[in-house]
Each structure stands twice: as C-alpha cells, then as structure tokens.
Amino acid sequence: MIMLMANINDTWQDITAYTGAYSRADNIRALGMSFDFKLLSNPLDRNAKGRELPIGTKLTLFSDGEQIFSGIVVSYERSSLSEYTYKSYDYGFYLNKSEALIQFNDISASAAIQKLCGENGIPVGAVADISANVRKIYNGSKISDIIRDLITMGENETGKKYRLEVRENKLFIEEYADLIVDAYYQPAAGSGFNPADVPGSFQSTYSIEEMATRVLIASSCEKNATIRATAEDSEAVTKYGLLTSVEKIDDKNNSQAMNIAKKKLKELNKIKRSFKITLFGDDAVRSGRILVFNQPDINLVGAFLVRNCVHRYDGFNHIMELELELEV
C-alpha cells in the first residue's frame, strides 16, 4: 500500500486520498531521485479547496510502511481548475545546486569526500574506501561534481566502479559489486516471484557508435599535449576499424597512465547492448543496481546494470520501466 505524507504547517498529514499518478525516477548519470504526482484541489468545492502545496513542502512516500522517497516540492503546474502536477526531488537536489571552495592536500579520495561533506553539513551514510591520492583545489564547483571527480580518480586508479546516491537523506558511495538486487514482486499475501523471470514489453539495441578500439592517454596541459600511454585491440581494429578515444589526465597521474588506458579500452571496446524493459515493480530496484536475467528467448541473459529506473504506481498496480546495460 502506498501512502504520501506532506509536512503542512509543521504537521505531517496524509494526502494520499486526493493525490495520485505517482512516478519515482532516477538515472545513473544524475545524483538524486525525482517524484512526480498529481493533486486535486477545487476552489469551487468547499470539501476539496485549499489542498494545493507550496514550493518547498517536505514530502515522504511510503510503500507497505517503508520509506521509499523523502524530499521537497521544487515546482508545480496547474493544468485545469482543479488539477495540479507536482515535481519533487530528494536531498540530492542540494548537492546538485550548491557550490564549494575547498582544497585537498595529499589525502585519499574517500577522506576528501568525508571532509567535503563535513564542511558543508552533508549527512553521510557510507563512503567506500577509495585510496586514490588527492591534491587539488576546487573553486566554485558544484558539490556533486566534486564528488564525481573524486570518484573518477579512484576508478582510474583501482579499476573499480562506484555508485553515488542519496538514501534516507544521507549520501552513500558504494561499489557496484555490492548492489546486486534479487527483485521480488508480491501481488497478494502468500504469493510472489522475481520480476526478472516475467519480462513484459521490451526493446533491445546493439551499437558500436560509442566503441573505441584504441585509447590514447594525454596530458591535460594544453601547452604540452604529450601522449602518455596507448592501449589498442588489434583484432577489434581489423574487425570494426580504428576508433580512437583520447582521455586527458593530470600530470600527477602519469604513473597510472597505462592502467587508465587499459581500463578505458576495456570499458569502450565492445558492442553496446542496451535494453528497455517493463517489469512488475520492486521498490528495491533503482539506477545503479544490478539485476540478473535468464531470458534466452529475448537474448537477455546475464548481469545487467540499471541505468535508468522509473516506478509507476496506479492504485494497487506497481510497474517499473528500466533501461539496462550488460555489465560484463
């Protein structure tokens, strides 16, 4: 059961009865989750007037008693006398909008993230151990961009992938390997199944448009555009042609240049397989999670990264629309 609560005049109130068309969405390329819904408030009906919510209203969405969204109203549209459409975001909204001035001197990326959050009052749930050494000044950069840059440093050095997200108003940075979801859908008490076993409508795409068969690592210094390392797959060049990607690094990362080149080649030297699929919903699924499929009839077999996730709630129905990418 879905329940939407709003903080109205410093009192939490249940507004489920006059709201609907709930939609929760997040994307792996963006920090934060959005939540859209419709609200009915009719100025001509004394029993249904004055329900509209001001911008900045705090919201909490529950599913079967568990909190699945917490955030604030950032905008709304009025499309008729009585219908309002609201857009809200979780507290990743503030990290995307706020800027910082900060300097790091020879500390690990994870320590840098902790320092950044501490100085800007950002509650932290967990930060993975990211050992890359950081010596850098950020002057007026958005906080979310600083964190992404620090994560990229760690990924280039270790080859691991990390997921940045906000949950329950706290920042979490975790390895993808820890984010495999065994999805479950329960239409009624005593019955349930893994939605990945019952796929709905789908669309699959195969492309080499983003492929690279050679990676060049260059100095980021514009006065000295020196190639620091090269990684190439000769068999892929023969088969698909020479497709070159140039990556720039700071001079302090020169010792890691070959590792970065090999990692980037592994990431880009492949046919991109992406899927759009509709499944029965599980609130544990969101972007950055990994779902395992075994559907050979539609060539959907293996571990897939959820790149985009939209949950839709309509009465007792709950579906999710996913964009997937093969993770191996």
Angle (CA) 270 248 236, round 5°: 25
Return all residues near 204 (Cβ < 8 A) that are at least 6 apart.
273, 274, 275, 298, 299, 300
125 token code pair: 């749930």
pLDDT of residue 227: 84
Average pLDDT for 233-248 = 93
- Tell me: the pLDDT tens digits for 190-234? 788 989 988 889 999 999 999 999 999 887 766 666 888 999 999
Return all residues near 320 (Cβ < 8 A) that are at least 6 apart.
195, 278, 279, 280, 281, 282, 285, 309, 310, 311, 312
Q: What is the DSSP string of 259-316?
A: HHHHHHHHHHSS-EEEEEEEEE--TT--TT-EEEEEEGGGTEEEEEEEEEEEEEEETT
Candidate CATH numbers 3.10.290.10, 3.20.20.10, 1.20.810.10, 2.40.30.150; the one for domain 180-207+272-326: 2.40.30.150
> What are all long-range contacts of 110-114, with beta carbons under 8 Å and residues at least 24 apart?
110/154, 110/173, 112/150, 113/147, 113/150, 113/173
CATH class label, 2-90: mainly beta
How many C-beta atoms lie closer than 10 Å to residue 119's C-beta?
12
pLDDT of residue 176: 77
- Tell me: the pLDDT tens digits for 100-148? 999 999 999 999 999 999 999 999 999 999 988 999 999 999 999 999 9
| Euclidean distance between CA atoms 320 and 301, whole angstroms | 19
Domain ranges for the chain, please list them. Answer: 2-90, 95-177, 180-207+272-326, 214-268
Residue with tokens 């990607």: 245
Q: What is the DSSP string of 273-284?
A: EEEEEEEE--TT
Candidate CATH numbers 3.30.360.10, 3.40.50.300, 3.55.50.60, 3.40.1390.10; the one for domain 95-177: 3.55.50.60
pTM for the predicted model, two decimal places = 0.84
99 token code pair: 């800027």
